[in-house]
């Protein structure tokens, strides 16, 4: 069987996955140390806080999230039980729900940000110089763009 990957390509792939896992684990540790909820809570609250009127449909929220959500509905249940979000029936679609961030949700997101920002600064930004960060950003944007393009290409 012919080798499909260069050693550099395989090493870069493994490094990308390990770096992501290591960085996210450290962010989670920092949040827990500050007695704050997990990063997945922040992820949802941030997207809702950024959305027009602080509201998104479930189907629109899911693809915006940075972290994988295998069961977004359960996460939303926990956020709703903590009074951080509210679900309302869609006026124009009885099957759907609008998810709104509450004032408590906004306040929690604002409390979480400084801890998250410090973790990003210390564990990521401080480890690379500005040129390395710019090069990494370009490479990742290119990868995402090309992946989206190939995923959207029609099958022949």
Q: Is the pLDDT of residue 62 over 70?
A: yes
Mean pLDDT of 99-108: 97
The pTM of this model reads 0.86
CB 55 within 8 A of CB 79: no
Give me the half-sphere count of Cα atoms (radius 13 Å) on the Cβ side of residue 59: 5
Q: How far apart are CA 128 and CA 130, in angstroms?
A: 7
Confidence (pLDDT) at 69: 73
Confidence (pLDDT) at 90: 80
Distances (CA, A) of 22 to 17, 18, 25, 27: 9, 6, 5, 9
Domains of the chain, first to last: 15-151 (1.10.10.10)
Mean pLDDT of 137-149: 92
Give tens-digit pLDDT for 67-96.
877 788 899 999 999 999 999 988 777 777
The Cβ of residue 117 has, within 10 Å, a number of other Cβ atoms equal to 11
Q: What are phi and psi of 60, to 5 degrees?
A: -90, -30
Confidence (pLDDT) at 153: 67
CA quadruple 60, 113, 82, 24: dihedral sign: positive
Distances (CA, A) of 132 to 26, 28, 126, 127: 21, 25, 11, 9
Mean pLDDT of 100-115: 98
Give me the half-sphere count of Cα atoms (radius 13 Å) on the Cβ side of residue 4: 1
3-state secondary structure of 16: helix
């Amino acid at each position: 069987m012919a080798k499909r990957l260069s050693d550099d390509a395989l090493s870069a792939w493994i490094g990308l996955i390990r770096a992501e896992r290591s960085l996210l684990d450290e962010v989670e540790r920092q949040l827990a140390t500050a007695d704050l909820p997990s990063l997945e809570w922040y992820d949802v609250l941030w997207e809702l806080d950024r959305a027009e009127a602080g509201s998104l449909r479930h189907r629109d929220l899911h693809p915006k999230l940075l972290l994988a959500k295998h069961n977004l509905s359960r996460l939303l249940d926990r956020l709703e039980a903590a009074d951080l979000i509210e679900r309302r029936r869609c006026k124009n679609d009885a099957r759907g729900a609008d998810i709104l961030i509450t004032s408590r949700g906004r306040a929690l997101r604002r409390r979480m940000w400084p801890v998250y920002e410090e973790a990003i600064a210390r564990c990521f930004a401080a480890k690379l110089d500005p040129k390395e960060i710019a090069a990494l950003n370009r490479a990742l944007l290119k990868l995402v763009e090309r992946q989206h393009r190939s995923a959207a290409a029609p099958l022949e």
